[in-house]
Amino acid sequence: MEKIHVAIVEDLTEFRERYSRLINLTEGFVCLPEHQFPCCEDSVPTLIEDPRIKVVIQDIGMPKGHINGIASMQQIKNKRQGLLFMIATVYIEDTYLFEALCAGADSYMLKTDPDAVFVHHLKELALENGRPFSGPLMRKILDVFRSQESDNNKIKPTAFQKQLLEKILEGEINEIAYTNEELAEELNRQVKEITREIRAIYKMLHVNNRKEMIKKYQSWKVRFFGFD
């Protein structure tokens, strides 16, 4: 019987070794050394071009300066829609769950899950087209969708707030931490206006600092703000 080829995209060696060991010990599955990647950039060409690979174990978080697993998965799914992705992560936050689902995740597992659970879900996903989420995770996902439908009706940023968020995000991408004074100069506004609008955005997004604001904005801007 032809084996199902599985790829791993995981920056931590201990998890790459754990997943590859479990996969190669599971009858009918194989994970070749050349299909084990420490970062998303290295994995994308192979995952798009190698037709042997049927399943990808994908981490979300990657080292600073690298694209994350969700962005990488979305890029690959645009080229190979039939490729199955199992997200294996430490995150169970609402934003990560929803973002992974929107990007095309077929399964979502926690790194703390026992080996037997990992193997069970791998088999269900690859062989049986079974339910790719455990009961607790499925309930969590349903809660996320319900809560976001409610939030979607509440968050209505102004045109200037969108402009301000984009400028702050631009700085984050380029590793520039804009001060309120610098933002005022860049956007031709008064410092007190920048301060007031940032406070309003914090309240609207239910966050307490810029790091949380950027994270939530990146996760939800397509859904909330209509940006591409």
- pLDDT at residue 227, rounded to an integer: 40
Nearest-CA neighbor of 218 among 172, 183, 178?
172
Torsion over CA: 107, 111, 114, 118 (sign): positive
Tokens linked to 18 = 């754990």
Question: 49-53, 95-99, 136-140 — which is least confidently predicted?
Answer: 136-140
Q: Mind listing the domains of the chain with CATH numbers?
A: 4-149 (3.40.50.2300), 155-225 (1.10.10.10)
| Angle formed by the axes of helices 94-103 and 69-77, nearest 10° | 20
- pLDDT at residue 153, rounded to an integer: 52
Distance CA(122)–CA(214), nearest Å, equals: 33
Side-chain-side CA neighbours of residue 74 (13 Å): 11
pTM for the complete prediction? 0.61
Burial class (CB in 10 A: 0-12, 13-18, 19+), 161: middle
- pLDDT at residue 144, rounded to an integer: 57
Q: What's the pLDDT tens digit per position in 88-129?
A: 877 666 566 667 777 778 888 888 888 998 998 898 888 865
pLDDT category at 83 given cuts 50, 70, 90 is: very high
- Average pLDDT score over residue span 203-212: 82
